[in-house]
Structure 1
Amino acid sequence: MRGSASQAETPLVGIAGRMVPIKNHALFLDAAAQIHAQRPDVRFVIIGDGELRADLEQKIDALALRKVVTVTGWISDMAHAYADLDVFALSSINEGTPVTVIEALAAGCPVVATHVGGLPDLLEGGRLGKLVSSGNSHALAESILETLDNPPDPMPGRQAVLSQYGIDRLVSDLSALYRAQLAKKKKARA
């Protein structure tokens, strides 16, 4: 995603997801404009596609961000993308438990997200990432800047999601479910 060695030191902030109203990419772009005004060295990437892509492309131009925002469309190597990002942002109006945040944390990428849906639980009330008010581009921009200036230790987030969502946990949970169902069936026959 960074492209060349000369871009290795350039701060990169990204968002990934379907370009639909509930994901609120426009808020991300408003925050990007505020960040760019303070830190012109920061670059932004939007990963994904969807019904609002043309609108978002127009907003990028309207905010004069074309030189600092890249829209990639869908990419298959998200692990590489998360590894390149200095901050992963999520600007959704509502969410359940977003896989993108789980993946970012597992990759050791700092997260700044809106305080909606399952995100406060997933980010353990802000312990594993910064939470900001939904719809507040200033708070999103400030939290991204703080994260760029003071990157958190990635290990707590990585350990938390691996223990909650890793393959060992999945196997253990499925095994317990099957044992419970078999025990019910055995009990019903008795």
Structure 2
Amino acid sequence: MSDTERTIAFLTSKWTNVDENIRQGITPGGVPSISKAWTIFNKHGWNVHVFIMTDLESEFPAQTVELEGVTFHWLDNSLGNIRRLQGLKKLLHFFKLLTILRKIKMIKTIKKTGIKPDIIYCMRDTFAWMGLLWSVFVKARCVLRMYGTFVYDIWFEKKNNLFDRIKTIPELITYKLPFDHIIITNDGTQGDKVAEWMKVNKKIFWFPINGVDKNLYIRDFDAISFKEKIGVPKTSPMLLLLGRLTYWKRQDRVVKAMPTILKKYPEAKLVIVGKGELREDLEILTNELGLSESVLFYGAILHKQIKYFFNASDIFIMPYDVSNLSNTLIESLIAGCCVLTRDVGSTTEVVSDGENAVVLSPGETEEFAEAIIDLLGNPDKRRILSKNAYETAMERFSTWDERMEEEYNLISNLVNNFD
């Protein structure tokens, strides 16, 4: 069977700057590994269908959109005709029955499309059961794709309470299901150790680091003009936080460090780029600390715009609790940033303290303030770290095209062997 006769179906949820962009007829932004997954198969001539789980009743009336050769379908995740069960919502949630009812409803919707894929690609464990059931109906291969995991952190690092561990059980069960392949991003969350703990067959397991756009560094970039454009005075040191604003990314650590930093460098500005559930709390914290003139919130941006923020920054900071080997770290290195991060997960597989980044042992606000003050007072050190970061990243990481070709070949071979 030729590639033009192949069909792949992706099961996914709404991702930031993906779902919204598709609805507007714009090439998806957000996390590159999401949209690039279906783009590579489209490039090779496959028929590509992407099913996005959402609440159609309140959000989007149309159920199918064609964009750049890919067909997008929206799956209704609302209660719909089971709304009469709303009174039992808490009880149903506790036993996961509401989730099961919704998934059954979505499987029926998928079957009605008549699409018979050669392979089903489940983006996260949320869609594991749906994907496997569908693969049985149409005799297709099924792949589980995980974008990192919190399991290792909950069970082995923080040793969270019993309730937190119970919440990970659905994911743990997923690793024991009969997938043809399991892919977990090596993003610093120790997915390989989780797979080993769950005794995932090594023959069906892949643990890749994400690719990167190697054109993020801009030689002779006019940082002064860009800083003024976003409201940062040309003489002000620019500290940068970039990414989804969420609790485990702990952007609050840097906000709390700002009063100490400002005593030494009163003109310093902290630019926070991104959106998320932590935004309101960060704004409240900023006001409580009297930092409204020193902390600037820039909201979400298109992925193609991140290089300008990276190149304008004096220090890029990643204060996360987990996942410190994320896309953002890789991109900041390739952009030649002076990076300040924490030694959690597998961060030190890529960066070394004092060589191509400043890597703090897990700590709190005081360490961030001291490290930032030291870097702002030592421009030569920043230049050396930036240069080494760029050289490390250029040598170590694959481009997105190279990385996605690896994934395409793996999945294409699964289908060929199945035939």
Alignment TM-score > 0.5, same fold: yes
State the Cα deviation string for residues 88-132 of structure 1 (Å, max 9, x = none): 001111115111121111111100112211222221354210011
Mapping of residues 1-190 of structure 1, within 5 Å: 1-3=226-228, 7-76=233-302, 77-150=305-378, 151-153=382-384, 154-167=386-399, 170=402, 174=406
Distance in 1 separating the partners of 2:322 and 2:243: 13
- Contact between 1:163 and 1:169, CA under 8 Å: does it hold in 2? no
**Quick check: 50-59 or 95-104, which moved more?**
95-104
Give the drift of 1:31: 1.3
Distance in 2 separating the partners of 1:6 and 1:61: 18
Distance in 2 separating the partners of 1:125 and 1:9: 28
State the Cα deviation string for residues 132-156 of structure 1 (Å, max 9, x = none): 1334211111111111222232221
Instruction: Provide closer, same or farther for how the CA distance between residues 96 and 61 of structure 1 changes in structure 2, counting only shifts above 3 A.
Output: closer
Gaps of 5+ in 2: 1-225
**Quick check: 29-38 or 107-116, which moved more?**
29-38
Distance in 2 separating the partners of 1:55 and 1:6: 23
Gaps of 5+ in 1: 186-190
Paired residues in the alignment total 180
Coordinate RMSD, CA, aligned: 2.6
- Contact between 2:324 and 2:341, CA under 8 Å: does it hold in 1? no
Between 1 and 2, higher relative CO (CA 8 Å, sep ≥ 6) is seen in: 1
Give the drift of 1:6: 8.3
Give the drift of 1:159: 1.2
Give the drift of 1:54: 0.7
> So what's the TM-score if we normalise by structure 1?
0.84
- Contact between 2:235 and 2:267, CA under 8 Å: does it hold in 1? no
Distance in 2 separating the partners of 1:92 and 1:168: 24
Distance in 2 separating the partners of 1:125 and 1:44: 23
> So what's the TM-score if we normalise by structure 2?
0.40
- Contact between 1:31 and 1:141, CA under 8 Å: does it hold in 2? yes
- Contact between 1:88 and 1:104, CA under 8 Å: does it hold in 2? yes
What does residue 188 of structure 1 align with?
none
Distance in 2 separating the partners of 1:13 and 1:121: 24
**Quick check: 24-33 or 144-153, which moved more?**
144-153
Distance in 2 separating the partners of 1:91 and 1:125: 15
Distance in 2 separating the partners of 1:119 and 1:145: 22
Distance in 2 separating the partners of 1:54 and 1:6: 22
Distance in 2 separating the partners of 1:58 and 1:96: 26
Counterpart residue identity of residue 95, structure 1: S
Instruction: Provide closer, same or farther for how the CA distance between residues 35 and 111 of structure 1 changes in structure 2, counting only shifts above 3 A.
Output: same
Give the drift of 1:168: 9.2
SS at match of 2:227: coil
Structure exhibiting the larger radius of gyration computed from Cα positions: 2
Give the drift of 1:7: 2.2
SS at match of 1:49: coil
